[in-house]
Chains A and B, each alone.
Chain A
Amino acid sequence: MRIILCSVFMFFLFPLNIWADGINVGLQLEPPNLDPTSGAAAAIDEVVYGNIFEGLVRIDQNGEVIPGLALFWELSSDGKSYIFHLAEGVRFHDGTDFTADDVRFSFDRARAANSTNAKKYIFAPIANIDIFDDYTIMITLDRAHPDFLFNIGLGDAVIVASESAATNAINPIGTGPFRFKRWVRGDRIELIKNNTYWGAQARLDWATFKIITDPLSAYTAMMAGDIDTFPNYPAPENLFLFDRDPAFEVVVGLTAGETILATNNKKTPFDNILVRKAIAHAINRKELIDGAMFGNAQAIGTHFAPNHPDYVDLTALYPYDLNKARGYLREAGFPNGFKASLKLPPPIYARRTGELVANQLSRVGIHLEIENMEWAQWIDQVLRNRNYDLTVVSHVEPMDINIYANPNYYFGYDNADFQKIISDIDKNGNAAGRAALYKEAQRKIAEDAVNGFLFQLGKYGVWKRGVKGMWRNYPIRSNDLRDVYIEDNG
């Protein structure tokens, strides 16, 4: 009997994880597959970007472009040709050599007619790819595209090998500091250190991404010690519990996610700028941030990341003022307001913000009927068929103000002046000139009150004290673990 009791006891006490030289990373959404060059799921990049796959250049946690597989590059004076000097002695995880041919293969694959690359437009300007030798490659664009360098730092432009490209979705083979070990679908993705990495070696021996969908389970998993770090903790409402616990560190950073009250500018009455201005004045951002995000978000007045050097703070352009809102509504011919629908996608930030927005707009007589929908439904009705009035959603792509220049995008904003600003930015190689144009673009959409600009979605990093080197911000959705280590503090 005593033996049974003992073994039962041991069974419960046996530590699940005895290695301290690796890290368990919590992830709320499971990536559908592990190929970052197909499809758009941010969760793919959250696992593979910088860890398994690398591009010619990398984007760091401040959104800066730094050398990747290209150690340095030269730009021709007309801004059209880049000569990339590639790292030598780099091997893919399956042992094949990395050369200029792989770069050409990757880019040709991404711009091919049957490409399923979600950001195919990145490669559209490429006119010519010339290989000088195995480690020197020249890429010529149809004209100067100053964004090109940043764009090829995105996960959609990582370098893949012709031998493994077709199977990267299930068995990713890259050049990064970690290699793929296995994927227990629905549970976890295991990476191990790449001991033959060409650059500075990763400091962790392994990294396991554990999929924890339920926000409450994210809390218990952290508290139980199953997870060492949650780079983007899904429940802002209980961040304070970690904040006051000395065993954890909470780091609130920014994402590239502008959360907006997207408005159907083609549909009455929202095609009337007076109505949109009334909505802008009726929105109380502080109340939204406190109520929906528990104070952990930054107000925005336009569609631009507040930590970007060219950001203009336009939150005071249409301050919260119910009288002004009512005035604009009267002027627009809706003295008693009107009824409209608000279609909300599933993320909790959207649902909570949407409910508060509906309440705020009701103060000026705009009565919103909330319709909660799944992503697939939302994409079908709102994004694709533009069958909506208002919606709340976060646009997480970095530097995506150019979506306002597309008259067929779901905002339905068709403004020649704005389109000209964006095409000028695209042509302008001068940094100061571009900055001025970006500011002009921000002002234009803010003044036109194209959408309700609410807040920048925060990145809520929670980790055990002693975990070092995690990214603070999400300029792109990446958990680059190459510099992460766990400090031994006894």
Chain B
Amino acid sequence: MAYTFEFDGGTVRAWHLTAEGAESEGVDYTPSLFVDGPDTALEALAERLATDPKVCATTFERRYTSLHDTKSDRSRVLRVSLERLSKIWTLADEIRGVHEREFDTAPGTYRLYDVDLAPGFRYCLDEGVDPTPTRELRTLRIEIDDRALANRTLSELRLDGETVEGEPAEICWSLWRRLERDDPDVLVVSHGELIPFLETVASEAGLDGFHLGRLPGSTRVAGANTYESYGQTGHSPARYRIPGRAVIDESNSFLWHQSGLDGLVYMVRRTGRPLQEAAWGSIGTLLTSRQIRLARQQDVLAPQNKWEPETFSSVETLHAADRGGFTFAPEVGFHENVHEIDFASLYPRIICQHNVSPETVGCACCAGDDERIRERVPELDYHICREDGFLPGVLRPLLDDRAKYKRELDRDPDEAAERRLRAKSGAIKWILVSCFGYQGYRNAKYGRIECHEAINAYAREIVLRSKRHLESAGWHIVHGIVDSLWVTPRGGGDSRTTAEPKQEQEPEPLETVLERISCEIGIELEHDGEYEWVCFVPLRGSGSGSRSGERSGTGAPAGALSSAPAGALSSTPAGALTRYFGKRTGGGFKCRGIECRQRSTSAFVADCQREFLEVLDETRDPEAVCDRLGRRLGELRRGDVEPTDLVVTKRVSQPIEAYQQRTHTVAALRRYDRHGVERHPGQTVQYVVVDDDARNPERVRLEFELEFESETRSQPTYDADYYAARLVRAAESVTSPQGWDRARIQRYLADGRTVQLSAFRRR
């Protein structure tokens, strides 16, 4: 079977791996798209397309146009076959944009299917090709520096981590020899743009015949593009194909960074996307590909647009359905002897266990027949079909694989095997984490909001049942988000739970309770971690009197909290749901949502915050943390901190002209622009704040400008006040659970009292 493909006109060049390298084969290929619509309209269209030179055949076939349809009959759809793959989009636009209008039918009369599939994926799908590599792949990694590429200068290249320097011709020559000698199957490039750049440099240097592929030439298959997803702006660079080698663009591959080649190859097997297309695919794209492939096996087409709406429902149903996962507002403060427990892969397991799928939730075949339905979704009036659902079929093999890899990992495999297992298990994890949210995503091909709601309803019920079990076994819940709970033995250990009744009995051993819950619910509740102490950080600016207690709902407005019981803790400040830190019983800290976890935090501030955590661990005393803060502030103000430790990384969210405010990011973008380095939304900027009060571009220096400035000794170095404020904020996160907010820290520091001995104990 082939593993990488190029498309030229009506033929496909498919590359098969051999023991020595790879060989190609040219194959004729006729891709198709499908059109659904009223019969007369389809016939008119078929007639019209008969004279279209792009089209080589039209036939009527019976297919399902949605998963829902699998409960009834297949629709009669028009299959339109094309001479060339590259004309699919043109034809799709013409059907909707020209023919539909000329026939004077209502917009949306024609619904299109199998339009937006990546070419290699489409080919494999149509021809039943499994693109999983049949032997170990040989890779060559080629890296270039951002600035060198921006300035179009080639003086240095890294090949598999080894630096090659010299004249452009020499570098290209070395690379070429390397390609000839090793004959890699995969090129891992730091930037996709490196491909045309190296070819241009080689040709300018007179290296005739230089090529990166197994045959000459390269093709740009997609232009650069800026997009928005989940409210975040992203940038995807242009993509290139080279003959006979799969290209992995490190600047455009989530999975490569997460789980490397082993994770990618696993995804090739499970999704049917050839390696290069798996590499640039987002997690959503990979999940969709797997769905499309499995849907195809059931004769279900992949819709181009999402026409199928949710069903009309009563206010009562919508009210119950439109709630998120269950959360227990964290009890702000310092808690000792805390256990973190969570349900492993809760959402995908709910999907599999309760047969949740777009076509099973509220299916027509079981409607109104309580004998026939499999079950009802808690709180909602949705029923679930008894026939095996589509979505569980998508996820179950992934869950099983992951469980298998975990078991193998427990058996102490050698280092190489361990790395592979972790990579594959990691890749699966991302799909499992996304599968639930994706059901609610507006453009998910097979997503359905009712599934999303049903899954949430099950999750809420499961968490509430677990809570009841834990509490009756003598455990107290200090925090919980969706599938994780933090518990302490009631009465003992937890210093914050003064409101609990006295004379508690010893709680039942946690493992026993967990086993009972897992057994009852059918999804394993795991003991994830044990902490000497955990601090939950208050929301910034939340004073006393804020609500604490249980609440549910992610999309609900503030009014939704009215169901929270007014407990004994209602006078404590509100806790931030995802900001906490704790000391593991075995050593080491776990931090979430605080500064040292944020990539916009400079190394200096992050290091100091970790140091504050250690001080807190040793002393349990906010004053000692403040003393340490005082010392670090002194260093900062004396100019003793290396500017490179103060580099801040920010994500660009929009083009420079769209920024309303003259932020640091804007200042940095202007400076990048001066150097001719392009920065698109979705990419990052790195800078040091040198003078926060200065005119915009002068507020910051870019990371690489620092090197130059330190060589030339040209100042300024950094803005101490700006970083001092950041540092105090980082300290506040550590001390605020114990009631020390910024004002109190500053009062304490201003006191000028003798610092405690602990401030000097280290360093």
Same complex for A and B? Answer no
A-side interface residues toward B, CB under 8 Å? none
Chain B interface (Cβ < 8 Å from any Cβ of A): none
